[in-house]
């Protein structure tokens, strides 16, 4: 009976996370349309923040859950970052080769790698303090301000009239009151869905003998990456490459800085798994990000279908590694 109940918790939690993230994206797009920002800027900020909200909620719920919460929080970030680039990036490139603008390759992709490397000196001592977490949030706030400033400038250029895809296939709400109400509903739903996901995943993982690190790197990470997958698939089918690339790169930056920083600010936590404390799991995340950038370069700013197959194969190999060696 406990197994059935927690299975329902897990599935229902993931569904709620997904649906509430879609709601937040729709509301965010409605708010952003009047700002006159570029489509890439929207992908890097508004949509990336919306699709990263499940990771933030799940990681905060993880650190509040007690023992092993730090592994859940950090593992969720690492696993989601790997899933975003290898799984989601691979799948959408197989569907349709993904074009990356030169300025994105020269600017946002290096930032994604740098903020991931920034995390290493903070977690290699197997703990994340509140001052370190606040520092991550400060870096995040600075990057957001710079990105929005650049996006406003680029929004006046050729990209200003690019259609913004809406995963709900509906017109986003226009009035401020509706946007605020729906935002609150989305955030409350994310918190509840994250809690259900953590409870269900931890119980199921413990029942079959998995460590909390593996649970967070697989079940929770994949579940919280579903919004990125849905958004990128819709954007790719509409030919909106800037939205797809911005969502993938922006979500990884948000996960590293905002999700980790928010979780550590709420409750400073120890990291008990050596693989997560600057060990193999961390460096796999770095390697996947570097491979993503390398494939963009050798593909002449295009992630080809062959590159997509390589990324997806990398993710499958990563899953085999997790279950074989953890």
Residue 83 has pLDDT above 80, yes or no: yes
Q: What is the DSSP string of 35-52?
A: GT--HHHHIIIIIHHHHH
H helices of 33-129, where? Answer: 39-42, 48-64, 69-82, 89-95, 102-106, 108-118, 120-123
Determine the number of helices (DSSP H) and then strands (DSSP E) in the chain: 16, 4
Q: In whole angstroms, what separates CA 48 from the centre of its chain?
A: 7
Q: How far apart are CA 200 and CA 5, in angstroms?
A: 8
Name the one residue in this structure whose structure tokens are 């809406």: 166
Per-residue confidence (pLDDT) for residue 79, from 0 to 100: 86
Q: What is the mean pLDDT of the chain?
A: 79
Domains and CATH numbers, the chain: 2-157+172-325 (1.20.1420.30)
Residue 133 has pLDDT above 90, yes or no: yes
Q: How far apart are CA 191 and CA 38, in angstroms?
A: 30
The pLDDT-based confidence of 58 (bands split at 50, 70, 90) is confident
Structure tokens that stand for 266 in this block: 């709420």
The pLDDT-based confidence of 322 (bands split at 50, 70, 90) is confident
Give CB contacts under 8 A, 24+ apart, made by 139-146. Answer: 139/115, 139/257, 140/253, 140/254, 140/257, 140/258, 140/261, 143/111, 143/115, 143/253, 143/257, 144/45
Structure tokens that stand for 310 in this block: 């390589």
Per-residue confidence (pLDDT) for residue 168, from 0 to 100: 43
Mean pLDDT lowest among 136-145, 236-245, 247-256: 236-245
Does pTM surpass 0.85? Answer: no
For residues 253 and 144, is the Cβ–Cβ distance under 8 A? no
| Cβ burial, residue 106 (10 Å; 0-12/13-18/19+) | exposed
Name which of 87, 51, 58, 320 is nearest 202 in CA terms: 58
> What mean pLDDT comes out for the span 69-97?
88
Per-residue confidence (pLDDT) for residue 85, from 0 to 100: 92
The SS3 assignment for 320 reads: helix
The secondary structure of residue 88, as a DSSP letter, is I
Give the helix/strand (H/E) hosting 270. strand 269-270
| Cβ burial, residue 111 (10 Å; 0-12/13-18/19+) | middle
């Amino acid at each position: 009976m406990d197994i059935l109940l927690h299975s329902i918790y897990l599935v229902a939690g993931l569904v709620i996370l997904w649906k509430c993230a879609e709601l937040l994206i729709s509301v965010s797009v409605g708010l952003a349309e009047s700002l006159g920002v570029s489509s890439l800027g929207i992908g890097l900020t508004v949509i990336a923040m919306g699709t990263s909200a499940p990771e933030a909620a799940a990681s905060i719920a993880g650190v509040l859950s007690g023992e092993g919460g730090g592994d859940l929080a950090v593992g969720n970030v690492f696993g989601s970052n790997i899933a975003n680039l290898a799984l989601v990036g691979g799948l959408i490139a197989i569907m349709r080769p993904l074009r990356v603008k030169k300025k994105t390759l020269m600017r946002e992709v290096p930032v994604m790698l740098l903020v991931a490397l920034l995390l290493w000196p903070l977690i290699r001592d197997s703990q994340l303090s509140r001052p370190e977490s606040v520092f991550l949030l400060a870096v995040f706030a600075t990057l957001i301000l710079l990105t929005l400033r650049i996006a406003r400038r680029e929004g006046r250029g050729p990209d200003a009239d690019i259609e913004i895809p809406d995963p709900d296939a509906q017109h986003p709400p226009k009035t401020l009151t509706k946007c605020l109400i729906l935002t609150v509903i989305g955030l409350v739903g994310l918190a509840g869905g994250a809690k259900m996901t953590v409870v269900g995943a931890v119980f199921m993982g413990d029942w079959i003998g998995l460590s909390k690190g593996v649970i967070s790197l697989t079940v929770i990470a994949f579940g919280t990456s579903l919004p990125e997958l849905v958004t990128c698939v819709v954007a790719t089918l509409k030919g909106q490459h800037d939205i797809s690339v911005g969502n993938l790169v922006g979500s990884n930056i948000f996960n590293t800085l905002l999700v980790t920083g928010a979780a550590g600010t709420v409750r400073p936590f120890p990291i008990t798994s050596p693989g997560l404390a600057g060990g193999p799991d961390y460096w796999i995340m770095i390697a996947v990000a570097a491979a993503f950038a390398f494939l963009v370069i050798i593909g002449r700013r295009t992630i080809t279908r062959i590159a997509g197959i390589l990324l997806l194969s990398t993710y499958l190999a990563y899953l085999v590694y997790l279950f074989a060696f953890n």
